[in-house]
Amino acid sequence: MSVGSQPVLVADIGGTNARFALADTSLDAPLLKDSIREYAVAEFPSLGDAARHHLEQIGASAGRGVFAVAGRVDGDEARITNHPWVISRSRTAAMLGFDELHLINDFAAQAMAISLLQPEDVIQVGGAAWVPGKPGQPRNYAVIGPGTGLGVGGLILRHGRCYPLETEGGHVSFPPGTPEEIRILEILSEQFGRVSNERLICGPGLVNIHRAVCEMAGIDPGQLQPVDVTARALHGDPQAMRTVDVFCAVFGAIAGDLVLTQGAWDGVFLTGGLTPKMLDSLQHSGFRQ
């Protein structure tokens, strides 16, 4: 690290977990991987408390920060969509003694990261292998990822500049495409009223789909967590297997609609905490249909 400089504290703040790390901007690979830690957001009253705890845990200090948050950033304030934290940029900066602190939408951050990717960094889900655009070549990308919720964003590359699209697209209304999906919508509407895509395509969404599939089969779904549903599917449980199939098909339909809406003809990047855990299912499902 350059003399007299301090690292930047970077963070990915979701509805369930907060991930922190230090970055040295003087390096070609700035992320200091031995500084990466993950904490449950429920353990802390505020983002500032979580960040301060992290710095204490790794025995480090920082003078600046960039925090990506799972929610809309409006001026000085951000609200975590699936958690009660309301984040004030100015108060958090003062609490940590930072000279500079930036809050950005988490999927805007993920969209910006596309510009840094190489083919070896991605796993293809069907179709032709992805090839990055040449310098200065215009490109349109979409990014979507299920975790605690469903994040959606995009990236426009024009004249060597990156323009991220900050959206809350996970909250658009769910459009069923089959009679089975229409019935699932009806069942979920009884509980939630309006049903968004996020009610199906995220960790809790797996449980929602499973409950609806079980209700259609006249079976008690039990009190399951998302990991229970996927584990049962791996062991051949019919309702759990159908749940995973529906999840993948709906996820694919939403991704396809996103391409049409954003004009993301150059690729859709699947991210989020749930995607790596379901990659094999996505590869062998109706995701691309």
Sequence spans of domains, the chain = 8-105, 117-289
Type of residue numbered 174 = F
Rounded average pLDDT over 138-157: 95
Tokens for 182, please give them.
């229409």
Of 168 and 179, the structure prediction assigns the larger pLDDT to 179
Residue 28 confidence (pLDDT): 80
Q: What is the pLDDT of residue 32?
A: 93
**Angle, nearest 10°, between helix axes 89-96 and 47-58?**
30
So what's the pLDDT on residue 80? Answer: 83
CATH number of 8-105: 3.30.420.40
Average pLDDT over residues 147-173: 93
Query: Is the model more confident about 71 or about 243?
Result: 243
Q: How confident is the model at residue 136 (pLDDT cuts 50, 70, 90)?
A: confident
Give the model confidence (pLDDT) of 10-64 as tens digits. 999 988 899 999 999 888 878 899 999 999 999 999 999 999 999 999 999 999 9
Torsions phi, psi for 159 (to 5 deg):
55, 40
Antiparallel, parallel or unpaired: β 139-146 and 150-158 = antiparallel
Domain 117-289 is of which CATH architecture? 3-Layer(aba) Sandwich (3.40)
Looking up tokens 């215009």 gives 138
SS3 of residue 126 by DSSP: coil
278, 147 contact by CB (below 8 A): no
The whole-chain average pLDDT of the chain stands at 92
Mention every residue, 6+ apart, whose C-beta is less than 8 A from residue 249.
Answer: 177, 285, 286, 287, 289
Confidence category of residue 1, pLDDT binned at 50, 70, 90 = very low
**What pairs with residue 270 in β-bridges?**
144
pLDDT higher than 90, residue 223: yes
pLDDT single digits (tens) 255-289: 999 999 999 999 999 999 899 999 999 988 888 87
pLDDT for 261:
95
pLDDT score of 2 more than 60: no
Residue 141 has pLDDT above 80, yes or no: yes
